[in-house]
Amino acid sequence: MKAILVGLLLGTALAAGAEPFSLTTLRKDHPRLMLTRADWEALKARTASDPVAKKLLQDLQSAADQALGEAPIKRELIGPRLLDKSRTCLHRVSLWAGLYRLTGKAAYAARARQELLAAAGFADWNPSHFLDVAEMTTALALGYDWLFDVLPPEERKAIKQAIIEKGLKPGLSDTPGAGSRFWLKATHNWNQVCNGGLGIGALALADEEPELARRVLKQSLEGLPRALASYAPEGGWNEGPGYWDYATRYTAFILCALESALGKDFGLKKAPGLDRAGFFHLYAAGPQNLSFNFADAGERTGPSPALFWLARAYQQPVLGAFNFFCGKKSLRDPFYLYWLPAPVPDAALVEKLPPSALFRGVDVAFLRSGWDRRATFVGFKAGDNKANHSHLDLGTFVLDMRGVRWCEDLGSDEYNLPGYFGKQRWTYYRLKSEGHNVVTAGGANQDPKARAAMLAFDGTPGKACAVADLTAGYPTAARSARRGVLLLGNAGVLVQDEWSLGKSQELIWAIHTPAKIVLAGREAKLLKNGETLIVRILEPATAKFEELTVPSAPPKGHPLHASKLGFRYTASQTTRLAVAFLAEDAAQLAPATRPLAQWGKPLNGN
C-alpha cells in the first residue's frame, strides 16, 4: 500500500515532465522563504492589533533580548553529532532574523549575522551525520533570505558559499565521494529533515544558482513522497509522537517554503493522511501533557508549531486550538507567531472532539474518558518492531488517572551508548520487551521483525476499547497472543490478555510505574501525589503480585527511577490474564471478563 501511495505522489510531481523542477515561477525578491515581504508586513500589523499575536511577539522579544549576549555557536560535537549546534543556530537565526523583520531593531539583525558567519566559518557541518547538515542549511538559508537586504556583500558571499559547499553539494546523490545517502529513500524523519533542509537551501539561492537549485529540488521532490506516505492512511507516525514533531516540523518547513517561493507544493500537501497528522499529536497527549511516548520519545509533550501550520494548511482550527488547550505555557518557538492562524482558534474546540481515536497504519489507539485534566487516558499500541526508533513493545500501554501517570513508558536511553542503533540495541533494558508494559514469555524479547495489528476498536463513550493481535511478536512461544484494553468510564481500565501456548511456560505480566507499590496478594496499591490506584488480578485465580526487579542503568545511560509491578504464571495451552486498574473511590467495582472476540467493532482486513 505504501509503495502505491509513493507512486501516486511521485506521479503528481512528475506529471508535467521537467516542469515541476523549473524555476519559472520563482519569486525573485527576498524574503521568499515561508513568509514574503507582504506576509511580514501583514504580521507586523497584526502584532499591533491582535492581543494573542502581540503577546507572542513580546515573549519572543524577551527571550531574544536575554540571548543577545550569548556567544555564537562553536563546532563542538556531542558523540558523532553536531546536531545540537545546528538546532541552536536555527533557533537563534529564525528568532533574531524574524524579529528584525517585525521590529526593525538593528541589534537583532546584527546578532543573527554574527551567528550566520560563525556557522559559515565551520570546516564542515558534519556530513557523516547528515541531519546536522540539513538543519544548519535551513538555518543559513532562512538567515540569508530574511536578512538579504541588510547583509553586506562580503557576508552575503560567505553565507552563500557555505550553503553551497557545506550544505547543498554534500547532499547531492551524484557528488563524487558523497557516500551513503540512505535518507533519500527513507520513510522516516531523516527523509523530511534532509530533503526538506536541502530544498529550503536551494530555494534561498535559486535565482543566483539556478542549475544547482534545480538539481537539489528535483532530488528533494523525488525523495519526500516516500516519507509523506508514512502518514497514511490516518495521520499516525510509527516513530512515536516525539519524532512525529520533528518529521512534521520539517514537512511544514519545506511545503511552506515551496508555496511561498514557487507558488506551488507539487501535490505533496495532498499526501494521504497528512491532513490528519495533527490529530495524532493531539490524541497522543494525555491529560497532564504527558505523551504516549512509545519508540525513542520523551514523555513531555504539549504545543507544537507544526499544528499551527497544519491548522492553516487544511482549515482545521481545532489543531491550532490544541496549542492553547495545553495550558498557559509560553509559546517561545518563533514559528508559533509566524504560523499563527487567523482568527486565533478557541481552545474549547478540543473538547468537542470524540475522546477516543484509533490510527490505522501505525495501529495505535488512544482511549480517554473525557478532555478534563483528571480524565482517564490510555495509550495502547500494536505496531511494528521494525519501525525506525522502535522498541520491542508490541502491546504496551500507558495509563493516566486522576491527574497521575500510573503506568509509564521508560522512553529512550542515551543515544551515544555503544551499539544503540546497531547490534546492541536490544540488550538495553529500556528498549527490550521486559522494559515495557507487556507480557513476556519468560522475560524473552519479542521478535524484532514482528508487526502487530489492531483487530477491533470502539471509541464510543462507555464502550471504548481496543484489541490487538500480538502473535507475531512471540513466534516460538505462542500459537496466539492477544491483548485488549477496555475503558471503565472514569473509574478505571481493564487489561486482558489471551494466550494459546504450544507448551508449558512462564508468562510474566508487568508494568512500570513511578508510584510507590504496596502489595496485598492478588491486589496492589499504587500511591502517588496523594492519590491511590487499586490494581487487581481478576484472572488467573492463583496469581499474586510481586515487585519485580528493575536492573541498574548502563554506566552512561539514563537513570531508571521506575518501580515494576507484576506477576508470574506458568501456563499451558490456553490461558487468560486479566487485570483491573481502579480508582480508589471505585474499588468495589467488579469488572466482568469476557472473550476478546466479543470486544469492540471488528476492523476490516483483520
pLDDT at 7 over 60: no
Highest mean pLDDT among 330-334, 527-531, 558-562: 527-531
Give the pLDDT mean for 12-36: 75
Tell me the three cell numbers of residue 87. 538546532
Give domain status of residue 511, yes or no: yes
Distance of CA 437 to the CA centre of its chain: 20
- 136, amino acid identity: M
Provide the domain count of the chain. Answer: 2
- CA 339 vs. chain centroid, Å, equals 19
Rounded Cα distance between 435 and 438, Å, is 8
Q: Is residue 178 part of a domain?
A: yes
Transcribe 226-238 into DSSP letters.
Answer: HHHGGGTTTS--T
Is 246 domain-assigned? yes
Q: What integer is the mean pLDDT of 316-326? A: 97
Give the CATH number, domain containing residue 51: 1.50.10.100
What is the C-alpha separation between 50 and 343, in angstroms, rounded?
Answer: 9
Q: What is the mean pLDDT of residues 285-297?
A: 96
Range of the domain at 415: 357-602
Q: Indicate the range of 170-174, 199-203, 404-408 predicted with least confidence.
A: 170-174
Residue 317 lies inside a defined structural domain of this protein: no
Same domain, 368 and 222: no
Query: Is 494 inside any structural domain?
Result: yes
CA atoms within 13 A on the CB side of 370: 11
Look at phi and psi of residue 341 and say left if phi exceeds 0, alpha if psi is from -120 to 50, else beta.
beta
Q: Are residues 251 and 362 in the same domain?
A: no
| pLDDT above 70: residue 606 | no
Residue 551 lies in a domain: yes
Distances in Å between the Cα of 452 and the Cα atoms of 116, 410, 456 are 47, 21, 12
The rounded distance, in Å, linking the Cα atoms of 166 and 214 is: 17
Reported as a pLDDT band with limits 50, 70 and 90, residue 437 is very high
End-to-end CA distance of the chain: 15
338 lies in some domain: no
Query: What distances in angstroms separate CA 150 from CA 93, 97, 141, 163, 534, one per listed residue?
Result: 14, 10, 15, 18, 64
Check whether residue 257 and residue 365 sit in a common domain. Answer: no
* Short-list 18, 13, 21, 22, CA closest to 225: 13
Cell of 354: 470524540
Which residue do the cell numbers 553586506 mark?
152
Residue 117 resides in a domain = yes
Grid coordinates belonging to 149 = 537586504
- Cα 328 from Cα 324, distance rounded (Å): 7
Looking at residue 175, what is its pLDDT?
Answer: 74
Tens of pLDDT, residue by residue over 128-152, are: 999 999 999 999 999 999 999 999 9
Assess contact for 109 and 150: CB atoms under 8 A.
Answer: yes
Q: What is the CATH number of the domain that holds 376?
A: 2.70.98.70
Question: Is a pLDDT exceeding 50 seen at residue 474?
Answer: yes
> For position 18, what pLDDT does the model report?
35
The C-alpha atoms of residue 36 and residue 516 are separated, in whole angstroms, by 55
**pLDDT tens-digit series, residues 366-401:** 999 999 999 999 999 999 999 999 999 999 999 999
- In this structure, the strands spanning 531-539 and 574-583 are antiparallel
pTM of the model: 0.95
Task: Output b/e per residue, 1-29; b: 16+ Cβ within 10 A.
Answer: eeeebbeebbebbbeeeeebbebeeebee
Cell of 467: 484489541
Instruction: Please report which residue ranges of 367-468 form alpha helices under DSSP H.
Output: none
Answer yes or no: is pLDDT of 312 > 90. Answer: yes
Residues 287 and 327: their CA atoms lie apart, in Å, by 11
Indicate whether 377 and 257 sit together in one domain.
no
pLDDT digits (tens, 9 = 90+) for 489-502: 999 999 999 999 98
Per-residue pLDDT at 16 exceeds 60: no
Q: What band does 19 get if pLDDT is binned at 50, 70 and 90?
A: very low
Contact predicate 115/89, CB 8 Å? yes
How would you classify residue 226: left for phi > 0, otherwise alpha for psi between -120 and 50, otherwise beta?
A: alpha
Tens of pLDDT, residue by residue over 75-133, are 999 999 999 999 999 999 999 999 999 999 999 999 999 999 999 999 999 999 999 99
Please give the Cα distance from 318 to 304 (Å, whole number): 13
Grid coordinates in use for 275?
491532513
pLDDT per residue as tens digits for the range 234-266: 999 999 999 999 999 999 999 999 999 999 999
**Are both 247 and 369 inside the same structural domain?**
no
Whole-Å CA distances, 142 to 32, 103, 198, 253, 318: 9, 17, 12, 11, 29
